[in-house]
Homo-oligomer: A and B are copies of this chain.
């Protein structure tokens, strides 16, 4: 894989990565079929018959991936090498554009009692409006040598981003995660992180002073300090002109981290595919993200997830009409509705291209893909395979 960048050449060929978030499932006890296996999806099944099939292991055996490692692998970045912390992910989730070196933390507004102990970690779940008002208040804080961003997320939650040179994120939380205790000092967890710890504590002290008059939200708790990783871009590594089409901010953010151009789009796959068609000429790699399958899985909504897959199937001809040289349909991880959360189960994978060796299995499903010739492969193998089928890789060795 280290040798890959040296083998890439630019060609006009086009790759589409149609990523159905949380695609994989486990069988419903009543039917013995997964969400994908239950869905009526004639277009995906027909495509499967002309494709190479397999299953993806996003991180490692038994490992349930978070969203960042799930996507990084598919983008061609080793998820065990590149990581994104909680704070950064929260910032990406509100469409904040972080720069490499920024340190972000998740924040809670909370209520302290008269003795300074936490009475309510969520300050009675503020309204979004209250949260926005308080964030504006905290935005007035000035710390020497750093730029500060305080952005509302939802209810009591906000993000704080420190921007400046030499910031480090090896910091302990100020949030003791328990009520009845006092907030704790942020401590440096590495020698280089002392200055950043001082800044964080300074921010907390000033926030406390500013919030003194508030009835419920009279303090902040910070946790999940993390630094925006500096990643080589997909254009540097793979000579691609990549674009991201995602209606949810966090996925746009992850795409931004690897140097994709984020294309403005609206909600839903139909809108995303308008965007895809409009920008077809300008890019050679398109990451199209479908969030709703994961959301239904997380909700335990088996039938809802089936419907999302059927909707994707209905839209699939629009992707095929563009005649991509390579079309990959897969997911970043499994989200079985029966488990109501991400899981470690391998993810169905389909690669369609004029150069592929079809398995002749005209079904897109977990068990069908399990019979595919590719077997179970790491998600990290997807990008090299896509590049190869797009004719973008030259021979290795003499």
Q: Which residues of A contact B (CB under 8 A)?
A: 1, 3-4, 7, 26-27, 32, 34, 55, 59-70, 79-80, 83-86, 88-89, 224, 226, 336, 338-339, 342-346, 355-360, 366-367, 370-377, 381, 384-389, 393-398
Contacts and interface: CB of A to CB of B under 8 A. Distances in A.
Instruction: Give 7 nearest A-B pairs by CB, closest first.
Output: A370-B373, A62-B388, A62-B384, A66-B397, A61-B381, A69-B397, A375-B375
Given A3-B80, A397-B84, A63 B356 contact: no
Given A65-B397, A224-B398, A342-B395, 18 more contacts: A3-B63, A4-B63, A7-B63, A32-B360, A59-B396, A61-B385, A66-B395, A67-B398, A68-B398, A79-B396, A338-B355, A343-B388, A357-B366, A359-B367, A374-B376, A375-B375, A375-B376, A376-B377
A393 B360 contact: no
Number of copies: 2
A83 B359 CA distance: 33
A1 B384 contact: no
A61 to B, nearest CB: 4
Nearest to A60: B1
A44 B386 CA distance: 32
Contacts of A226: 398
Q: Which applies to chain A's interface (DSSP): helix, strand, loop or mixed?
A: loop
A55 B373 contact: yes
Contacts of A336: 355
Contact of A360 (B80, B367, B389): B367
A46 to B, nearest CB: 15
Contacts of A62: 4, 381, 384-389, 393
Contacts of A371: 371, 373
A337 to B, nearest CB: 13
A343 B386 CA distance: 13
Contacts of A385: 61-62, 344
A372 B374 CA distance: 11
Contacts of A359: 367, 370
Contacts of A370: 359, 372-373
Contact of A366 (B65, B85, B373, B394): B373
A34 B355 CA distance: 12
Contacts of A397: 59, 65-70, 79, 83-84
Nearest to A380: B61
Contacts of A88: 398
A89 B398 CA distance: 7
A357 B373 contact: no
B376 A63 contact: no
A326 B356 CA distance: 32
Nearest to A358: B27
B376 A367 contact: no
A342 to B, nearest CB: 6
A64 B396 contact: yes
B366 A345 contact: no
Contact of A355 (B4, B26, B65, B386): B26
Nearest to A398: B89
Nearest to A339: B355
A63 B393 contact: yes
Contacts of A346: 373
Contacts of A366: 357, 373
A386 B65 CA distance: 16
14 contacts: A4-B60, A26-B355, A27-B358, A60-B384, A61-B384, A64-B388, A69-B397, A79-B396, A79-B397, A89-B398, A224-B398, A366-B373, A367-B373, A371-B371
